Amino acid sequence: MDSKVLLPLFAQRFGCEGAACYAAPGRINLIGEHTDYNGGFVLPGAVGQCLTAWIRPNGSDQVNLYAADLGMECVFAIDDPQGPRSVHFRYVYGVVREMTARGVKVGGFDAVYGGDVPLGAGMSSSAALECCFAFALNDLFRGNLDGMELARVGQMTEHRYVGTMCGIMDQFVSLHGRAGCLVRLDCRSGEYEYFPWKPEGYSLVVVNSCVRHELVGSPYNDRRNSCERVAARAGVETLRDCSWEQLETLKTELSDEDYSRARYVLGEEERVLAVCEALKRGDYEEVGRQMYLTHEGLSKDYEVSCEELDFLVEEARRCGVAGSRIMGGGFGGCTINLVRNELRDAFVSEVRKNYRERFGVECKMIPVVIGDGARRVQ
């Protein structure tokens, strides 16, 4: 839902004088899954699909929200210690609380928002929502928070007000994304480097399994807890600092589950760096090979796949796709596919047909264009 559609909705509710428009994107992550909260490397990019909001300070202590995609509205006071019960609106409430805690004098405001980042598909619609409002409130209420601090606002919103103990990657790239580039983020130091993404002869295609994933609660947090247990046993802060030798030495002291989770993370760290080297060489076939290895680890060791996602990856392999894997936290959502252009149409057609025959539902194809991060829309 773009700004031109949202503005009349804002005008109907609040009038449009003085309103400003902001947008923040969802993301893809080429490789580096479940490494962010382990202090490791990730390689994401912002996408063209965004959460867009018209916002205007209203001079009161009240926030008035209308989520156009959901047809839902919410009202809460800036100093409300409890906030809304709806999980969706708690993302905005949490951003307000976190901004205020960092010294930004957030006042009441009116907002109408919507977007085209698929919900529950592993493209970080929640981070787009958080970052759109964090960027906007920092601008409208003259905050001085930089991009990394705004990313932490979004991350802490998830931790404290929603219950998902996520890493920093999704919010970081939603704020720092750059058109035509992927960004390698060191989640421990906060250092980052842009890598040009111009894969001549290849396209990125996201396939939405339409299996809705939910990261709130135990499945996601259980995996994080496994990693933290292994790191503590190894005497390091995060698995980023655990070597293969240390892990093998500890193997008999760990549960099979914790060992498998840690084995995946250490392997994924190596795969991210291997892909970065392959990108420097322009070797996109090697990029794809590493993507398949990541999926195998996510499915077998980290156990965040499902029958539908495994089927989509095997279909990609059968069609000759260069690389395919789960994208996002798992438990449903999407696969990301690196497809040679001459195979793209056949791949899309075959996967749609075979997925429908196997599961009785339509999967959705989402073309990917690497775009810019959060911004004020002129």
Chain segment 321-349, per-residue pLDDT in tens = 999 999 877 788 899 999 999 999 999 99
Q: Tokens 């070597």 map to which residue?
A: 243
Same domain, 156 and 256: no
CATH of the domain at 170: 3.30.230.10
Q: What is the pLDDT of residue 252?
A: 96
Q: What is the pLDDT of residue 12?
A: 95
Q: What is the pLDDT of residue 121?
A: 67
Same domain, 126 and 272: no
Q: What is the pLDDT of residue 1?
A: 66
What share of residues in the chain are helix, strand, coil (percent, to 5)?
45, 25, 30
Q: Which domain holds residue 311?
A: 197-367
Q: What phi and psi, each to the nearest 5 degrees, are found at residue 251?
A: -50, -45
Same domain, 237 and 290: yes
* Strands 334-340 and 202-208, bridge-based pairing: antiparallel
* Residues sharing a CB contact under 8 Å with residue 71, sequence separation 6 or more, in sequence order: none
Same domain, 29 and 161: yes
Q: How far is the C-alpha of 295 from the C-alpha of 14, rounded, in Å?
A: 47
Same domain, 281 and 327: yes
Parts of the chain with a pLDDT under 70: 1, 120-121, 213-218
Same domain, 181 and 201: no
36, 79, 80, 170: the catalytic one is 170
Same domain, 176 and 139: yes
**What is the 8-class DSSP label of residue 161?**
I
Active-site residue, 170 included: yes
* Strands 62-67 and 181-186, bridge-based pairing: unpaired
Q: How far is the C-alpha of 96 from the C-alpha of 115, rounded, in Å?
A: 20
Q: Tokens 């932490």 map to which residue?
A: 152
Domain count, the chain: 2
Q: How far is the C-alpha of 97 from the C-alpha of 231, rounded, in Å?
A: 32
Same domain, 109 and 17: yes
Query: What b/e sequence results for 300-313 when a residue is b if at least 16 CB atoms lie within 10 Å of its CB, and e otherwise?
Result: ebbbbbbebbbbbb
Query: 0.85 exceeded by the pTM?
Result: yes
Q: What is the pLDDT of residue 270?
A: 97
Same domain, 52 and 177: yes
Same domain, 226 and 350: yes
Q: How far is the C-alpha of 329 from the C-alpha of 170, rounded, in Å?
A: 11
Q: How far is the C-alpha of 213 from the C-alpha of 330, rounded, in Å?
A: 7
CATH of the domain at 234: 3.30.70.890
